[in-house]
Amino acid sequence: MSTLRVSGLHKQFISAAELLTVLDGIDLEMSAGEDLAIVGPSGSGKSTLLHILGTLDSPTSGTVEVAGVNPFELSPIKLAAFRNRTIGFIFQDHHLMPQLTVAENVLLPAIAQGRPSEKVRQRAQQLIQEVGLAQRELHLPSQLSGGERQRVAIARALLNHPKLVLADEPTGNLDATNTQSVARMLFDLPKREQAMLILVTHSDWLAEQAQRCVRIENRHLVVIR
Amino acid sequence: MGSPGIFTLVLRSLSYFRLMHAALAGGIAAATAVIVGALVVGDSVRGSLRALVIERLGNIECAMFARNFFNEDLVLAVNQAAQSSHARATPIIMLPSVSVERSDGENFVRAGQVQAFGVKDDFWMYSTGEEITRLFTKLDIDQIVLNQALANDLGVKIGDEVTLRLPTVAAVPADSPLGRRDESSIGLPRQKVVAILPDAGLGGLSVRVGQSLPRNVFLPIAALQDSLNAKQKANGALVFTENGNRPSGKASAADLCDRLNREFQPELTDYGVQLKRHRRVFPEADIGEKKLPSLEPSEVVFDYYQFSSDQLVLDDGTVNALMGALGHSGMRTMTYLANFISVVGEVKASLEVPYSIVVGVPEETALPLASFTTERPAEIRRRVCWVNSWLAERLKIIPGTMLRVHYFHPETVDGREVETSVELYVLGIVPIVEPVTKYDGDRPAVFEVRPTVFNDPHLTPQVPGVTDQDSINDWDLPFDLKDEKITKDDDLYWENHRLTPKLFLPLSTAESLFGSRFGTTTAIRVNADETTDESELVRTATAAMLTAKPGFGMQFQPIRQQQIMAASGTTPFDGLFLSLSFFVIVSAILLVTLLFRLGIEQRAAQWGVLLAQGFTHGQIRRLLLCEALPICLSGAALGVVVGIGYAKLMILGLETWWLGAITVPFLRFSFTPTSLCVGAAIGALTSLLAIYWSLRRLSQKQALLLLRGKWDTDMLTKREIGKLAMSTCGICVLAALGLIFLGSGQSGMVRAGSFFGSGMLLLISSLVLLREWFAFPRIGANVHQAVGGLRQVAWLAICRNPLRSMLSVGLLAVASFLISSMSVFQITASPKGYGGFDLIGEMSLPIFVNIGSGEVRAEALGEREGALKKATIVALRSRPGDDASCNNLFKPEQPTVLGIPPAFERQQASMPQSQAFQWAGRVPGDSLPWKHLAVIAPGTFEAPIPVVIDQNTAMWSLKQGGSIGAISKFEFDNRTLHFKTVGLLAGSILQGKLMIGEQNFHTAFPNLNGYRYYLINTFGENRQEIVKTLETGWSDQGLDIVSSQEVLSRLLAVQNTYISAFQSLGALGLLLGTFGLAIVQLRSVLERRRELALMRAVGFSGRQISKLLLLETTLLLSGGMLVGIVAAMIAVVPYVLETGPQMSVAQPIGMLAIVFVIGTLAGLVAIRSALKQNVLAGLRTE
C-alpha cells in the first residue's frame, strides 16, 4: 500500500546573513487514493513543502517516506529514477516543452528511461484521450489554449503510474470554465490510479474539492479538514 | 503514435530553436574560419615558396659548382650517363657575384651582387620556356641576356650596352705574399643586351635560396673563358630533366647525382695538380748543341716524379688523398722564398744573400742530409738547417753558425706582406757543383763534374713570371724587389742554378714557419724506382683524388630537392598566424560559450521540467551535447568556407600593408585538404569543449531554480570578498611583481616577456576582483543606503548575471591589454643596433688590401682620401651565403659568414658601451664576448667554432632557441662545420650572419681571399662625401654603401609588421567581443522586459530608459577596456623607463577608439529594442 509519511520536517533558508525558518516540525500522513489540499497565505511555505515532498528541494531536518522509501537517502541517479517512477508534477505554468507535440510531452517521463515501449505509448494515448485531447496529439503547445496545456500536463504527470501526484496552483492561470474541467480531471484521474494527490492552492473552491485540507500557519501544519 | 526517444528531443530542439543555433553556428564558424585561415596561410606560403623554387629552377635537377676550373669535356662524359636517366648535362661558368655597369654620359649606373652564368647553346635548349626559344637560341660573343630585375636596376633596354666586372682568377692565392693583389677585377666591356628575361622563371635562377629577386646575367661561356683565361674550361655543370622524367623525391634525385658523380672523373690537371718526372743523369746523353765526351756510362743523379700545384701550395685535401695512396713512397716537401739570409751578429750588407729558396724535406729522404750532419739534431735545442756549399762560401758559414732567415709571413696581414725572421743553427753543409755552362732560356745548365742530388732546381715549383726569367731583376712579383741587395754573385747563382735551394730544413720546421691555411706542402715526390710507370702513377693518383673531389666542390648536388626542402621555410606561417590570430580564436570561442550559455539559460525552465520528470543531470548534459554536435559540425563546415576567404584576406594583407613580413610580394593562394580538415576538426572540437565546459556546472543547478527560469542564483548580499578570490589576487600580484623584478635585469625578449607576463597576471587579478565585485555588490540595508540614481541601477543590472558580465568584460579587457601592450615590442631602428657604425659597405668582388688602413686608402685614392680622414673603416672577410635574417623565408642552408678581425674587438672595447653593439645574451660577467672569437677551433663537434649571432637570427632563422652555448652545424663546401654561440647581439645590423674570428674563418674557408664587407663610422661628418668617395674609388669592385639605419629598419620591419598584424587581429577579436556584448545587452533587455515595462509604467521616460541601458553598455565596455589598458600600462612602464618611449601609440589608440565607438553603437541596438516594446505587453505574465 502506498503511503506518505512526513515526520518532524524542518526547512530553513539562509538569507542576508540570517536564518529563515519556513517549516517548523511538519508531520503528515497519507494513504493511497487520498487527496489533500494545502492552503495558506502567500509566503507561508506551501510550495516549499510541496517541492520537498516532490524531492525538488531537501528538508533541513526531518524525514519523508514515500511508499516506504526515504528518497533523500538515495544517490542522485536513484533519486531521479525514484522521481520518475513515483512522483508526478503539475505546475502552475504547465511547463510543456514547446518543441514537442502533445503526445511527446506526455511521453516525456518515459523518454527519461529510454525509448517508450508499446505499452507505454498505449498508456499515453489513453491518457490523452481521457483528458479530451485525442484530436490534438500532434499539435504543439503553442497551438493549445491554457486549459488544454494544463490537461496535457496532467496526462504527463500520470504516465508512469505515480504513487504521488503534486500540483502547485494547477488552476492558478486558468479561467473559471477551465478551472472546473481541469479540477475534475485532477481529482478523478489520480484517484483512479490509487495515487495520492497533494495540491497547493489559493482557491477556496478547489480546496473544498479535496478530501482533506490543511493550512500552513506560522510554519506549522494546521488541519482544517 | 511514434516512439520518440532522446534523439527525437534533440531533433525537435534543433528545429525549434534554429535561430539560436544558427547564431551559435555562426560563432563556431568564426572560430573555425580563423583556424582554417591560419593553416591555409601556412599552406600558401609553403606552396608559394615551393612554386618559386620550381619556377626559377625550371628543368634544372642537379648542379655542381666547383672551386676551380676543370675541362668542360668532363661534362660530356657525364652527359652520356645522364641521358640514360633522361637527363641532360651542360657545362657552365658560374660567378656568384659580379658587377654590371652602364654608362649614363658622365655617370655610371651600377648593379652589384649579380649572378653571372656563362652557358653553352644547349643550356637554352634544355631550359624550360618557349619564350626563351622565341627570343633567341644562340648567343654570340659580346651578347648577353639580363633578367628584368637587373634591367630595371640599370635602366637598360634591349640593344643597350653594358660592362661586366668579373673577379680575377689567380692561381696563387691573393692573400699569400706571392699572390696578385693589385688587380681584383677584369672588365668585359660593350656587352650588348639582346634579351631581357622575365623574373618569373629562368630569369630568377638562383643558387642561393631566398624569395628576393636575384639579379642575373647570361652570356656565352666562351666569353668568360676568354676573359678569365680558362679556355675550354668550366667551373660548374647543370643537369636538366623534363616533366615526366623527373626523379620523384629526395632518394631518386640523390641516386641520379650519385650516378653522375661516379661518371665525373676529373684528371689531375682539373684539380690544379701537375705531375712531372725529373731525371738527371750524368753525363747528359743529349745536351743540345754541345755534346761532352762520355768516358763512363750515364748514372742517375736523381729520378723522381713530382706532384705540384698551380697554386704553389698543395691543399691539405689533395695532400691527404695523394699520400694516402702513395704511402711510404710519397715524400712531401715545403719550399719557400727567403727575402734574405744573413749570419746572426753580422751587420754588413755584403754578408746577406737575397731571394733564396729554402726547402723543408722529411728526415728520411732521398736527400742524404744525414751524411752532412755534424751533430745530432736532437741534441741541439734550436731549429736547425743545412746550407749548400755556395751559400756557405758566400756567407762564410761553417757548421754551428747561426743564421737569420728573413721571409714574408705565408699569409698577408690586412693585404700587406709582413716580414719576419727565424734563427737557424747550421748542422751541415751540402755540396753542389757548379756547371760549366749556365742556363739559357729553356736549356738547362751543363755540368762537367757529376752534380749532386742537391743540384736540383725542381725542388722549387714553377712560378710564372719567376722561373721563366733570365735574371732576378726580371722577376714579376707582387712586391717590390730590393734591387740594391742583388749582387753579381746572386745573379750568377741564378744563371747557374736557377731556383736550386740554398738552405734545407727539416719538414716539420718548414711547415711551422711557412705553412698557412693554403697548405703546408709544395710538392710530393715519388722516386721513380718505387713505381712501375708514369701511367700507373697517374691512375693511382687520379683514383686517390676522387676522395678529394667533394672538397673541390666537384660534386653534383640535387639542387632542386635541396631548394624545395629549404622552401619548407624557417618560419612556420601557419603556426605564426595561429599565434597572431590567437586572440581572435579565443574571442570567437568565448562568443560561442556566451551564445551557448544564453541559449541554455533561455531554456532553463525546460531543464527544470526534465529534472522534475526524472531525467538526471548527466542525461540533460548528453542531450545538450547531442544538440551541440551537429551545430559544431555545421559551424565548422561553414567556417571552412569563410576561412578560405579569411586566408585570402590575410594573404592580401601580407602582399600589401604587411609586406614588411615577407619583404617582396610573391604569395599565391593555395591550400591542402589536410589543412581544411584539421582546421575544421580543431574548430569543431574546441567549440565542443567550450560548450562542455559551460555545462560542467549543470549538476549543481537545482531543478527548482531552473523551473523558475533562473540559471544562476540571485545575487547574494554578502559584503565580503571570498577568501579564494583574495588568495588568487594576492598570488597574481606577487607573481607579477616578481616577474617585473626579474625582468628588469634582463634584455631583449626575456625582458619583454617578463613584463608582458606581469601585465597578464595583473589583468587576471583585476578580473578576479571584478568577478567578486559583480557577484557580491553592495546592497543598501535600509532606506538611507538604498539605491541612489540610474548609475547604481545600471550597476546592479550588470551584477544580475556576474558570469555573463565577466565574460564580456574579460574579453574586452584581454583584447585591450594585448592591443595596448604589444606596441612595446615594436622596435625602431636605434643607433644602439649600429654598433657605432653608421654605414655598411659590401663589394661584389673582393679586394685584397685592407681599406681600413689610411695608407692603403691613400695609395688607392690619392687626394680623394682626404674625405675619409676622420672615418673609421673595419674590413671583414665574408663568405656570401644565404640570408639568415627574418627577411628570408627560406630555411638557410649556408648562411653568410663574416670573419671578424682582432681590430674589430679592439674598436668595440674602446667605444662607450652605449654605442657599441648591444648584447641580448652572453656568459654572465662577460663584458665583451667578441674576445671569445679568438679561440681557435677546427669546427668539429668536439671543438666547435665560437660564433656571435644576432638573437633574432638564432631564435627564428636557425631555431637555436637563442641560448649561449648552443651548437649549430652547417654544410659548407661538402664539409660539416659546427659552431658554438658565445654571444647574442640584440637588434643589430648584423642580423642574418654568422660572425666568427678571422683566424677560424681562414681555417674554415682557406680559399677565400680578400675583403668584401665593411663597417664604417663617419662620426656624423661628411657622410655623403664619404659614400661617394668610397663607391667611386672601388666602383670596379661594385662597392655599394647603405646606411645602417636603412638596413636595420628593413630587418626590424619583419618583427614590427608581425606586431602590427597581431594588433590588427587583436582588434578584430575585440570587435567580436563587442558583438558579444551587444548580444548580452539584447538578451538582458529581453529578460528584463517586464521590469523595464514596469519602470515605464511608474513614470521613467524613454530617455531615462535609454540612458540606463547606455550606462550599462558603457560601464561594461569602458570597464573592460580600462582594466586592460591599465594592466598594460603597469606592465610596460618599467620597460619604457629603461629603454625610453619607443612605442607607437597612434595605432593602438586608434583601434581602441574605433572599437569603443562600435561597442557603444551596438549598445544602442539594445536600447532601440527596449524602447520598441509596448508597455502593456511587457507587463503581461505570458
| Residue that is written with C-alpha cell 623584478 in the block | B741
Q: Spell out a b/e string for B794-826, using b for 16 or more CB atoms within 10 Å of the CB, else e.
A: bbebbbbbbbbbbbbbbbbbbbbbbbbbbbbbb
Q: Which of B278-282, B354-358, B373-377, B889-893 has the lowest mean pLDDT?
A: B373-377
- Best mutation site among A49, A99, A163 for testing chain B: the one with the most B CBs within 10 Å? A99
**What count of other Cβ atoms lies within 10 Å of the Cβ of residue B402?**
14
What is the predicted pLDDT for the residue at B1102?
Answer: 78
| A219 min Cα distance to partner chain B (Å) | 20
**Does B780 contact chain A (CB < 8 Å)?**
no
B window 932-951, beta carbon within 8 A of A: none
- pLDDT over 70 at B558, yes or no: yes
Minimal Cβ distance to A57: which of B6, B618, B704 = B704
What is the predicted pLDDT for the residue at B704?
Answer: 83
In chain A, which residues have their Cβ closer than 8 Å to the Cβ of B13? Answer: 99
Would you list the DSSP string of B688-739?
HHHHHHHGGGGGG--HHHHHTT-SSPPPP---SPPHHHHHHHHHHHHHHHHH
Cα separation, B763 vs B388, whole angstroms: 88
Could you read off the pLDDT of B1169-1182 as tens digits, one per residue? 767 766 656 665 43
Interface of A with B (CB under 8 A): 16-17, 51, 54, 56-57, 76-77, 80-85, 89, 91, 93, 95, 97-100, 103-104, 107-109, 111-116, 118, 121, 124-125, 137, 156, 173
| A225 min Cα distance to partner chain B (Å) | 29
B175, B412 contact by CB (below 8 A): yes
Give the residue from chain B lying closest to A17, CA to CA. B718
Cα separation, B325 vs B347, whole angstroms: 48
Those residues of chain A that have pLDDT short of 70 are: 1-2, 15-17
**Does B713 contact chain A (CB < 8 Å)?**
no
What is the predicted pLDDT for the residue at B748?
Answer: 60
Could you read off the pLDDT of B167-189 as tens digits, one per residue? 988 778 888 888 887 777 889 99
Could you read off the pLDDT of B1073-1089 as tens digits, one per residue? 787 777 777 777 777 77
- Best mutation site among A14, A53, A56 for testing chain B: the one with the most B CBs within 10 Å? A56
**What count of other Cβ atoms lies within 10 Å of the Cβ of residue A85?**
17
Residues 6+ apart with CB under 8 A from B318: B271, B273, B309, B519, B545, B548
Minimal Cβ distance to A125: which of B1, B8, B704 = B1
| A100 min Cα distance to partner chain B (Å) | 7
What is the predicted pLDDT for the residue at B227?
Answer: 92
Greatest Cα pair distance in chain B: 148
Region B961-979 average pLDDT: 88
What is the predicted pLDDT for the residue at B726?
Answer: 85
Distance between first and last Cα of chain A: 23
B window 3-62, beta carbon within 8 A of A: 3-6, 8-9, 12-13, 15-17
**Does B606 contact chain A (CB < 8 Å)?**
yes
What is the predicted pLDDT for the residue at B712?
Answer: 63
- pLDDT over 60 at B288, yes or no: no
A30, A56 contact by CB (below 8 A): no
Give the residue from chain B lying closest to A48, CA to CA. B704
B787 band by pLDDT with thresholds 50, 70 and 90: low
- Higher local confidence (pLDDT), B472 or B881: B881
In chain A, which residues have their Cβ closer than 8 Å to the Cβ of B611? Answer: 56, 80
**Does B743 contact chain A (CB < 8 Å)?**
no
In chain A, which residues have their Cβ closer than 8 Å to the Cβ of B6? Answer: 111
Domain locations along chain B: 1-59+557-714, 61-242, 329-524, 831-1052
In B197-315, which residue ranges form alpha helices assigned H by DSSP?
221-227, 249-263
What is the predicted pLDDT for the residue at B899?
Answer: 96
State whether residue A224 is helix, strand or coil: coil
In chain B, which residues have their Cβ closer than 8 Å to the Cβ of A150? Answer: none
- Read off the DSSP letter of residue B980: E
In chain A, which residues have their Cβ closer than 8 Å to the Cβ of B610? Answer: 108, 112
Do residue B609 and residue A108 have CB atoms under 8 angstroms apart?
yes
| B1182 min Cα distance to partner chain A (Å) | 10
What is the predicted pLDDT for the residue at B1143?
Answer: 60
Do residue B5 and residue A111 have CB atoms under 8 angstroms apart?
yes
Give the residue from chain A lying closest to B707, CA to CA. A95
What is the predicted pLDDT for the residue at B717?
Answer: 47
Minimal Cβ distance to B605: which of A80, A89, A95 = A95
- pLDDT over 90 at B93, yes or no: yes
Find which of B385-394, B866-875, B1060-1069 is predicted with most confidence, using mean pLDDT: B385-394
CA dist B520 to A188, B312, B467, Å? Answer: 118, 10, 21
Give the residue from chain B lying closest to A134, CA to CA. B1
- pLDDT over 70 at B755, yes or no: yes
Region B647-665 average pLDDT: 86
What is the predicted pLDDT for the residue at B403?
Answer: 94
Could you read off the pLDDT of B708-725 as tens digits, one per residue? 777 665 544 455 567 888
Do residue B617 and residue A76 have CB atoms under 8 angstroms apart?
yes
Cα separation, B1026 vs B1019, whole angstroms: 11
B462 band by pLDDT with thresholds 50, 70 and 90: confident
- Domains belonging to chain A, first-starting first, are 3-223 (3.40.50.300)
CA dist B755 to B2, B581, B744, B746, B963, Å? Answer: 64, 21, 9, 11, 20
Cα separation, A48 vs A54, whole angstroms: 10
- Higher local confidence (pLDDT), B674 or B1108: B674
What is the predicted pLDDT for the residue at B191?
Answer: 95
Of the candidates B342, B475, B490, the one whose C-alpha atom is nearest the C-alpha of residue B406 is B342
Could you read off the pLDDT of B180-216 as tens digits, one per residue? 877 778 899 999 999 999 988 888 998 888 888 899 9
Do residue A54 and residue B612 have CB atoms under 8 angstroms apart?
yes
B897 band by pLDDT with thresholds 50, 70 and 90: very high
Q: Can you say how many angstroms the Cα of residue B752 is from the centroid of all Cα atoms in its chain?
A: 24
What is the predicted pLDDT for the residue at A213?
Answer: 93
**Does B613 contact chain A (CB < 8 Å)?**
yes
| A17 min Cα distance to partner chain B (Å) | 8
Region B255-263 average pLDDT: 90
In chain B, which residues have their Cβ closer than 8 Å to the Cβ of A158? Answer: none
Could you read off the pLDDT of B1003-1058 as tens digits, one per residue? 999 989 999 999 999 998 889 999 999 998 898 888 999 999 999 988 888 888 88
Region B326-353 average pLDDT: 85
**Average pLDDT, whole number, for chain B?**
85
Do residue B707 and residue A91 have CB atoms under 8 angstroms apart?
yes
